[in-house]
Structure 1
């Protein structure tokens, strides 16, 4: 439990004794809505972060055919990642909207973990809802749930040579058992937080790179919409992080 009699427990600082991270999400914009402020600060400190996206987000804009949408959203994601110091963005090319949790997805993510050898793996809310432990809230999307769960499992798969042995025999990817934590963003049961202050402005710029998606999503002024959303999230976490704007994570040690 993460509760005390006088309210929720303070959030612990995120681990800092790591050099490489792999962030695994379903769609372009997932990381920008969740944790880009933390990533900006980490890369400023000399840490390496790689993005892995299961889809290209091609089913995400109703007014744009998927064939045209996929390259547009890929380009926006690469520009967005560059703003926060992430030069490497990979796509697995699973179909947007119909991702399924299973062996294929676990294998693909485990292969990426073996390639990049991260100590920290980041993903998004893998639970049925965005609501709290008591239920309620908004229903999560199938893609988020599938990728989140597969990532949590793949962190272990990557270190076991007898699970997906073809990754070694066919791709030459040696097992990597060096993942020390999986950090889940977008959770309503966080345990840790990273200071969002140093990277907050760049996180706003980073999300605004998703121009086509935001234009289809809201009629509000893009910067006003983005700034209100991101600052609201960081201020909500601040109440449990010494009053500092923060990006919250649920951390599962391994």
Structure 2
């Protein structure tokens, strides 16, 4: 058994203006890093969200067509709580996202549209800290996002995007992975934590299908405990952790 990594986390770089978050499902960002997003938008930075799916397979009691529309509405409301107004859905099928050129192309197109310096995604590894198995959707989208950050800057990869008016963008300086078991950096969660709780609460239909707990108590306990645990490696400051890949 490997020893846990106790290296102190470093502050995430803040010399950037535009970020793009790319994840598989509605609620992925709210469970992962919305406290950081709230702090960034407060500071005048631009953050946009891209969701590979509409989360239509996420609630057993709702048929996919009904569920997808509802979860899109909840995601837009959730994003607004932390200052994000640009929310896009790529239309891949929930639960069966395939890693490959089609997914990379769609994410590269989004990167070219938004031209971010920082790209954010969710844990792309097989497990959550070696304890719980990750979903194929998270793995596929996380890996494709890491690859698409390079694809977006290469005009010879997906040249059809340029024909659609999406010129190459080689300005991505970092990809930050939330929920990683190998974090390297962190962002102070305190300024955005309360809004992060209410942002997660906008996914009320999903939460009520997931747990019998009071939704606000559930959201607050989950986000607070994660921030405090991360803070043990960030000078005692509650924080959101990221594994940072420089480009």
How far is 1:228 from its partner?
Answer: 0.5
RMSD: 1.0
SS at structure 2 position matched to 1:198:
helix
| Partner residue in 2 for 1:178 | 171
Match of 1:222 in 2: 215
Residue 60 of structure 1 is matched in structure 2 by 58
Residue 168 of structure 1 corresponds to: 162
In structure 2, how many angstroms separate the alpha carbons of the residues matched to 1:236 and 1:188? 13
Task: Quote the Cα distance in structure 1 between the aligned partners of 2:128 and 2:228.
Answer: 18
SS in 2 for 1:199: helix
1:138 aligns to what?
132
Write the distance in 1 (CA, Å) between the matches of 2:6 and 2:208.
Answer: 37
**1:166 shift after superposition:** 0.4
Give the gaps of 5 or more residues in structure 1.
Answer: none
Partner residue, 1:206: 199
Q: TM-score with structure 1 length normalisation? A: 0.95
Out of 71, 74, 91, which is 1:73 matched to? 71
The CA deviation at 1:79 is 0.1
Residues 213-254 of structure 1, C-alpha deviation per residue, up to 9 Å, x if partnerless? 000000000011000000010011000101000000000000
Q: Give the secondary structure class of the aligned counterpart of 1:249.
A: strand
Cα deviations by residue, 1:87-131 (Å, 9 ceiling, x for unpaired):
010000000000010000000000000000000000000000112
Q: Please state whether the residue corresponding to 2:66 is helix, strand or coil.
A: helix
2:217 maps to 1:245: no
Question: Structure 2 unaligned runs (5+)?
Answer: none
Instruction: Indicate yes or no: 2:175 matched with 1:159.
Output: no
Q: Tell me the secondary structure at the aligned position of residue 184 of structure 1.
A: strand
- State the Cα distance separating 1:17 from its structure 2 match: 0.2
Q: What secondary structure, in the 3-state scheme, does the structure 1 residue paired with 2:128 have?
A: coil
Matched, 1:9 2:2: no
Deviating beyond 3 angstroms after TM superposition, the runs of 4 or more aligned structure 1 residues are none
Taking structure 2 as the reference length, the TM-score comes to: 0.98
